[in-house]
Amino acid sequence: MSLLRGHFSMMLIVDAPTDQAAAQLETDLVQATEALGLVVTVRSIEDVHGSAEPGTPWMISVYGADQPGIVYRVTDLLARNNVNIVDVTTHVTEGDEAVYTMLIEASVPKDTDETLLSRSLANLAEELGVACTARPVDGTVL
């Protein structure tokens, strides 16, 4: 669930008993939420299994002056490096000097040149005029 500048969005993964039930669900939801003026879509998805090879968990913090393109440029760089985004949270403050914060939990493939990845992120951050810290985090589960 997310609330960004007064706009709300929510994404759910549900188990519907049949494909027909899924189609009916969209119709029912659209009808039920008409008064709220929401956009509602329901799509069936493939049951996706996680990648066979677990990567190294990294934490990536990006923050600075709010501007268009931060999410796109950073996630595009990560995608091109086969880095899987496990979780992402963004915040933006209000006012003339809005601060944008993007926090990414990533899974970096084991064969990645980590120095090169760090440098690419640093260069991108400089180009965008934002701060970026990217580091492996301890994935130990107790």
Partner 1 sequence: MAVRPVVRLPDLAIKKPSLPVGPLSGRHVALAADLVDTMRASPACVGLAAPQIGRHLRAFALDVSNHPKTSNHHGEFVMFDPVVVLADGEDLVREGCMSVPDFTGDVARPDHVVVEGLGLDGKQLRIETAGFEARALLHEIDHLDGLLFLDRVASPSDVFKRRVYR
Which residues contact partner 1 by CB under 8 A?
59, 61, 63-66, 87-89, 91, 93, 97-101, 103-105, 129-131, 133, 137-138
Q: Report the residue number, 24 or 133, with the smaller CB distance to partner 1.
A: 133
Q: Report the residue number, 27 or 133, with the smaller CB distance to partner 1.
A: 133
Closest C-alpha among 80, 42, 76, 66 to residue 128: 66
Closest C-alpha among 113, 61, 63 to residue 83: 113
Least separation in angstroms between CB 103 and partner 1: 4
C-alpha span between 27 and 57 (Å, rounded):
40
Evaluate the CA torsion angle 106, 110, 111, 115 in order and state its sign: positive
Q: Report the residue number, 25 or 85, with the smaller CB distance to partner 1.
A: 85
Least separation in angstroms between CB 130 and partner 1: 8
Q: CA separation (Å) from 98 to 17, 47, 51, 72, 92?
A: 45, 39, 37, 18, 7
Least separation in angstroms between CB 58 and partner 1: 11
Least separation in angstroms between CB 113 and partner 1: 22
